[in-house]
Structure 1
């Protein structure tokens, strides 16, 4: 009879992902909570930050890019090497901000370095009264025609329900692991 060794478990796969979205969408808060860091005193990211976010079956090295207007124009400089994209939007934002987020997501979905990658789109701040549902976001952002043939997930999120956020990231990791599916390009 053979026994398994008691050595260290095999290393978890690591994926490099970029996290984008407008200022105030909640990128930093969600990532901090996923890393079990406190969410007190969180300030908008200026430039970028990198966090290794551990999950049971993988580690995501997340490069979070600040969402301010003076930073967005440099986002594409940080796309190289990314294996996936997390796009966070404030589902309770003004129509004007939602339109800006829509434009940024459309640009990302069509960017040559990102267009074949899996996307996790989080409609954040679902706990706010003005929040639009994921279905409303999908319709408003015209995701069905734009993202046809791509691998993407759209989920609602809030820092009040981190279990649901972890489930969304679990689905995203499945897309990252599924390298055999080559999506159609738009």
Structure 2
């Protein structure tokens, strides 16, 4: 038991923020404010913040940038009507000062690959203008779905491992992190604001 506890404590903590349009498939439950999940991948413990993307909540995104070490941006591969909106939000997100300074790596998940009407990887890369992002920061593309086959499940695993490993490669040259308590304003301030906005 002691050995297990020691091994757990030695895991590197990686804070991940996950964004994407509503209904892109980030979670099966609509995000009113945020969902938080923790998972162990390789030698890291990922804390993934699934951030709400409704219009009223977007001004609060900045509260999640502090200490974020990686971003996952989820795109609905079948939603041709909103792909331009997804592109706009993605590029606006990455021009935020906090994310520009540290050049946080981003994993782009092209979701719903199990549906026949999904756009090709090449088409989505072009429509999202991912090449311009890749010229500025680490940006990897993954094909995912809520109902994964063995092939897609492997891709989800690859995404999680990439997110877990990449921040380790940049830790020495990264911007120093501010120390925050687990129940600091990082958690409670956006939560309370979101709650108030949703029930105005």
Per the normalisation by structure 2, the TM-score is 0.75
Q: Does 1:112 align with 2:97?
A: yes
Question: Counterparts of 1:13 and 1:104 in 2: how far apart (Å)?
Answer: 30
CA contact (8 A) 1:84 1:114 kept: no
8 A contact 2:33–2:57 mirrored in 1: yes
What is the rounded CA distance, in whole Å, between the counterparts of 2:140 and 2:134 in structure 1?
A: 10
User: 2:12 corresponds to which residue?
Assistant: 13
Query: 2: distance between equivalents of 1:120 and 1:90?
Result: 14
User: Are the equivalent residues in 1 in contact too, given 2:41–2:164 (CA < 8 A)?
Assistant: no
Shift of 1:62: 0.8
Residue 130 of structure 1: how far off its partner (Å): 1.7
Indicate the residue corresponding to 1:128 in structure 2: 115
The 10-residue stretch of structure 1 (132-141 or 116-125) with the greater mean CA deviation from structure 2? 132-141
Aligned to 2:129: 142
RMSD of Structure 2 on Structure 1 (CA): 2.0
- Look up the match of 2:155: 164
If the length of structure 1 is used for normalisation, what is the TM-score? 0.80
Unpaired stretches in structure 2, ≥5 consecutive residues: 175-200
Are the structure 2 counterparts of residues 144 and 125 from structure 1 closer, same or farther at C-alpha, using a change threshold of 3 Å?
Answer: same
Point out 4+ residue stretches in structure 1 off by more than 6 angstroms: none
1:59-98 alignment to 2 at 5 Å? 59-95=45-81, 97-98=82-83
Once residues 129 and 173 of structure 2 are traced to their aligned partners in structure 1, the CA distance between those partners, rounded to angstroms, is 22
Deviation at 1:43, TM superposition (A): 2.1
Take 1:117 and 1:58, find their aligned partners in 2: how far apart are those partners?
17
* DSSP-derived class of the 2:72 partner: strand
SS at match of 2:93: helix
Cα shift at 1:17: 1.1
The question of whether the paired residues in 1 share the 8 Å contact of 2:12 and 2:45 is answered with yes
Distance 1:73 1:130 in 2: 33
CA pair 182-124 structure 1, distance change in 2 beyond 3 A? farther
